[in-house]
Amino acid sequence: MTKPKMRLDLHCHSEASVDCITPLAAFPARCKERGIRVQAITDHNEVWGAQKLQSMVAENGNDLTIIVGEEVSTREGEIVGLYLQEKIPAGLSPEETVAAIKAQGGLVLIPHGFDPMKRHRLSPEALERVAESVDIVEIFNARISRLKWNAAASAWATTHGLPESAGSDAHTVKDIGSAWVETLLAPVDTPEQLLEALNATASEVDGEWTHPAIALAYKGYDFLRDRFRKLAGA
């Protein structure tokens, strides 16, 4: 008998990010449409959106699991924290940011850290300094500049013996669920359960890559459409 599986997207943005207008209310339906069972909300330097969506999903009895995360802007690039209870301030050192994530019992995830075209990627020097504290490496980012950088992340994760993840890095409704880890259906209510799911032998990373120029055009269209809608309603 085939065991049921689930898909996880561990890097995504909502209206709580300064560069995204995706409504929190759009996530449950879009995740269901894309087959995403576990969605991490990792807004830039904010957690209120993830916390609000988590409450919304719980109140509606939805079977979607929301992980509260944050893509934190350190002084040397971005680091994602998962399973957070409160916002971690921007502008700390990478070491201080990692320590703050761990102090909350959270997991440290390295997003798109191998793409030199990503303006806010974690610097290679900082990555090596915090390497021993990293819990998860994103090896498929749907908005990376070139697919070879996902391969570089995978090689680094293998060298360091770390679990691998995928993230849509979605800034539009359309892109939600465009990258995922598929693994056996299991609860991921705790950091330990997530790591167990990612380490399962049945775990597979996959996704749909979109050229960043196209992704930027979609995001610009979203902002313009939203602006015209507001002007029309004024």
pLDDT digits (tens, 9 = 90+) for 6-17: 999 999 999 999
Report the pLDDT averaged over residues 18-25.
94
Note the Cα 43 to chain centre separation in Å.
8
> Which residues form the domain of 198?
5-233
Contacts of 221 (CB under 8 A, 6+ apart): none
pTM of the model: 0.89
Report the pLDDT averaged over residues 57-69.
94
Tell me which of 67-76, 104-113, 123-132, 224-233 is least confident: 224-233
The DSSP H or E segment spanning 193 is helix 191-199
Give the CATH number of the domain where residue 126 resides: 3.20.20.140
Domains in the chain: how many in total? 1
Q: 18 vs 204, 211, 223, CA distance in Å?
A: 32, 21, 12
pLDDT category at 156 given cuts 50, 70, 90 is very high
* Residue 107 confidence (pLDDT) above 90: yes
Report the pLDDT averaged over residues 47-67.
95
* Residue 1 confidence (pLDDT) above 70: no
Report the pLDDT averaged over residues 84-95.
98
